[in-house]
């Protein structure tokens, strides 16, 4: 409820709208996730002008946690060790979804062999998080050489016999010797 006018508002992650005209919303709402409250014009940032901002959620620290530990409803899998430079978990689970970071196969071979190894890692991480390849809803394919795209696709299809998830493909944005890598989002099996 608005502390100034008593109007009701519904919480979301970026901006709270209570009683602004649709023209005002269309005029600036696309900027809301990118602009801080202090940068918004006074008329739109005042509490009763229609916009309310929630406090940011606490950011979890980078301290090493036990595998599968839950913090703020997020479970972390494959956290980096103290001596690892990798600044991310191998997978996380939250809100009924499993998010698997990008993984290459960790081997040097043909594009088919590397795709098979990378998808094997993805499968293992999904199982560790309580999901499976059958629950994957979206995949990101990262490739180095677009000439190997068809070869990678042939292997990829073998890992999703019950239906192909949505997918997009991009080139690696960091230097690597890997021919391909995969990341995915899957339904957690316990959310079915």
CB atoms within 10 A of CB 125: 22
Split at pLDDT 50, 70, 90, the class of 22 is very low
Segment holding 136, helix H or strand E: strand 136-143
Task: Give the residue-averaged pLDDT of 31-46.
Answer: 43
Task: Give the residue-averaged pLDDT of 63-72.
Answer: 51
- Any idea what DSSP says for residue 134? G
Smallest Cα–Cα separation from 133: which of 121, 146, 145, 141?
A: 121
| 69-191 CATH pick, 3.40.50.150, 3.40.630.30, 3.40.50.720, 3.30.1330.40 | 3.30.1330.40
Q: Where are the alpha helices (DSSP H) in 49-163?
A: 111-128, 149-158
pLDDT tens for residues 133-171?
A: 999 999 999 999 999 999 999 999 999 999 999 999 999
Query: What distance in Å separates the CA atoms of residue 95 and residue 97, rounded to the nearest whole number?
Result: 5
pLDDT of the residue at 80: 82
pLDDT tens for residues 77-127?
A: 988 887 878 788 899 999 999 999 999 988 999 999 999 999 999 999 999
pLDDT above 70: percentage of residues in the chain? 61
pLDDT of the residue at 191: 62
Ranges in the chain annotated CATH 3.30.1330.40: 69-191
b/e 90-120 (16+ beta carbons within 10 angstroms → b): bbbbeeebbbbbbbbbeeeeebbebbbbbbe
pLDDT of the residue at 84: 79
pLDDT of the residue at 101: 94
């Amino acid at each position: 409820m608005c502390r100034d006018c008593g109007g009701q508002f519904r919480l979301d992650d970026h901006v709270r709208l209570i009683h602004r005209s649709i023209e005002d919303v269309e005029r600036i709402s696309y900027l809301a996730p990118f602009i801080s409250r202090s940068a918004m014009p006074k008329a739109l940032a005042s509490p009763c002008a229609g916009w309310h901002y929630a406090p940011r959620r606490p950011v979890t620290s980078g301290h090493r946690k036990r595998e599968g530990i839950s913090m703020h409803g997020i479970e972390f899998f494959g956290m980096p060790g103290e001596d690892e430079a990798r600044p991310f978990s191998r997978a996380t689970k939250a809100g009924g979804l499993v998010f698997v970071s990008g993984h290459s196969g960790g081997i040097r071979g043909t594009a088919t062999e590397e795709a098979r190894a990378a998808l094997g890692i993805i499968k293992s991480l999904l199982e560790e998080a309580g999901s499976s390849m059958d629950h994957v809803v979206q995949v990101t394919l990262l490739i180095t050489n677009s000439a190997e795209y068809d070869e990678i696709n042939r292997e990829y299809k073998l890992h999703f016999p019950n239906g192909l998830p949505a997918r997009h493909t991009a080139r690696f944005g960091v230097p690597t010797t890997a021919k391909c890598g995969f990341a995915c989002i899957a339904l957690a099996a316990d959310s079915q």
